[in-house]
């Protein structure tokens, strides 16, 4: 029994140290466009598409932050996607005040074979044809005035076809900070951001808060019509960019783009419930396999620290030290507290629960209920298997 703990601890410690070291070194290669040398003034035309459904609480602040951008050549297309609150009225009021800068589209019905959000983004992007870039964002995202200027400057300088800014997450209360700090700290173990610009690497990235795409690249991949039933449309847009041989970059930019992604720890779970089973292609066997691996890889750390005899705890302690190092590294570019690594086992348990909940709820409902609309599992699985 003691030998088993030694082997388990040695393997776990080695894996965590290796992956953490790779991430810490690799993330240094990711550019930070908040640095002074990106204080540039490009002038290429940009269309900003903002889909929103029942975002009455956030849409005015979002649009006002976009209207305050110091970029010289842009327009905003706000898309009211069947909202039942004041979202559409707020958009119309702001349009009346800024008619030359803000255009508003009201959608009352989604055609069969589309998700509401992908349809709204497709409609918004289709309204204009003369911009060089399209920025897809969400109705609850807030921008600093220089966010667009710096991002376009970087995209043009790097030759990127697609650029993602990692948004700054607004976190309030212990539950949000505990869960979202863990997501940010170990994100680089799931996807390697420093590899996304490598055309030979599988790594790709997308963010609903900030997906900046060259217009000709967006049309070459088939527009959002090719992603019409993708639940994780932002990530799948990034994958489509890579699959079509285009160049993708991601950057840091502390506070340039910010969003409150969830309210409380169970708000995080609710958001992940929609996403996780889709990420795993609605495959329950794959989901159970992933849950098993995550349990062994993550919950084995506190288990070994408690149950392993004597010096057999060393491997598990090294694994926990690697977790702490990831938190410390992430705290330099995101507003997380490095000491929250203490709660990582609790956060990992929450994520494993969210994955299982995502599978169970989706299977039980026979699909996904998103913003009041149900999309059948059969329909979503067919879209997930589509080579497009």
Rounded to 5°, angle at Cα 126 from 122 and 132: 110
Query: Helix, strand, coil: what percent of the chain each, to 5?
Result: 55, 15, 30
Distance, CA of 258 to CA of 268 (rounded, Å): 16
* pTM recorded for the entire structure: 0.93
Report whether 262 contacts 270 (CB < 8 A): yes
Q: Write down the pLDDT at residue 388.
A: 43
Write out residues in the chain with pLDDT < 70, as ranges: 1, 384-388
Q: Give the model's pLDDT for residue 380.
A: 84
DSSP 108: -
Structure-block tokens of residue 143? 């921008």
pLDDT at 274 (0 to 100): 85
Cα(333)–Cα(28) distance, integer angstroms? 10
Q: Classify 115 as helix, strand or coil.
A: coil
36-167+207-259 CATH fold: Spore Coat Polysaccharide Biosynthesis Protein SpsA; Chain A (3.90.550)
- Contact between 126 and 77 under an 8 Å Cβ cutoff? The reply is no
What phi and psi values does residue 383 have, to the nearest 5 degrees? -70, -35
* DSSP character string of 247-276: -EEEEB-TTTEEE---SSHHHHHHHHHHHH
**Six-digit token pair at 83?**
């909202």
203 conformational bin, left if phi > 0, alpha if psi -120 to 50, beta if neither: beta
What are the Cα distances from residue 158, in Å, to 134, 163, 188, 286, 370?
Answer: 17, 10, 22, 37, 36
| Domain range summary for the chain, segments of one domain joined by + | 2-27+265-385, 36-167+207-259
Radius of gyration of the chain (CA): 22
Compute the CA torsion angle 44, 49, 55, 58 (nearest 10 deg): 0
DSSP label at residue 170? P
82/108 Cα distance (integer angstroms): 5
Angle between helix 344-365 and 265-279 (nearest 10): 60
Q: 376: helix, coil or strand?
A: strand
Range list of β-strands (E), the chain: 46-52, 74-81, 102-107, 133-136, 141-143, 162-165, 168-169, 211-214, 248-251, 257-259, 367-370, 373-376
């Amino acid at each position: 029994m003691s030998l088993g703990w030694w082997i388990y601890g040695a393997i776990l410690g080695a894996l965590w140290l290796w992956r953490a070291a790779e991430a810490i070194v690799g993330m240094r290669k990711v550019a930070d466009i908040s640095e002074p040398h990106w204080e540039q003034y490009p002038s290429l035309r940009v269309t900003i598409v903002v889909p929103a459904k029942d975002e009455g609480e956030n849409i005015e602040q979002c649009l006002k932050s976009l209207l305050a951008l110091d970029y010289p050549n842009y327009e905003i297309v706000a898309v009211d996607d069947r909202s039942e609150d004041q979202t559409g009225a707020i958009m119309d009021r702001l349009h009346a005040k800024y008619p030359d800068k803000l255009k508003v589209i009201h959608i009352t019905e989604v055609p069969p074979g589309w998700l509401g959000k992908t349809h709204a983004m497709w409609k918004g992007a289709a309204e204009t044809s003369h911009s060089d870039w399209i920025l897809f964002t969400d109705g609850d995202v807030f921008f600093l005035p220089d966010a667009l200027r710096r991002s376009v400057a970087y995209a043009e300088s790097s030759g990127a076809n697609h650029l993602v800014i990692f948004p700054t997450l607004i976190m309030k209360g212990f539950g949000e900070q505990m869960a979202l700090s863990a997501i940010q700290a170990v994100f680089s173990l799931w996807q390697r951001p420093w590899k996304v610009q490598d055309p030979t690497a599988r790594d790709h990235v997308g963010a609903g808060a900030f997906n900046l795409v060259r217009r000709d690249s967006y049309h070459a991949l088939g527009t959002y019509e090719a992603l019409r039933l993708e639940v994780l449309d932002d990530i799948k847009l990034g994958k489509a960019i890579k699959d079509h041989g285009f160049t993708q970059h991601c950057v840091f930019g502390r506070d340039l783009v910010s969003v409150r992604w969830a309210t409380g720890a169970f708000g995080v779970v609710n958001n992940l419930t929609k996403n996780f089973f889709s990420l795993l292609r609605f495959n329950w066997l794959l989901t159970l396999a992933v849950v098993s691996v995550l349990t062994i890889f993550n919950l084995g750390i506190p288990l070994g620290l408690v149950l392993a005899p004597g010096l057999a705890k060393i491997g598990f302690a090294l694994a926990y030290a690697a977790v702490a190092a990831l938190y410390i590294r992430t705290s330099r570019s995101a507003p997380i507290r490095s000491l929250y690594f203490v709660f990582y086992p609790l956060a990992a348990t929450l994520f494993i629960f969210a994955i299982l909940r995502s599978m169970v709820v989706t299977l039980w409902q026979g699909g996904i209920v998103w913003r009041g609309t149900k999309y059948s599992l059969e329909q979503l699985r067919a879209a997930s298997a589509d080579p497009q």
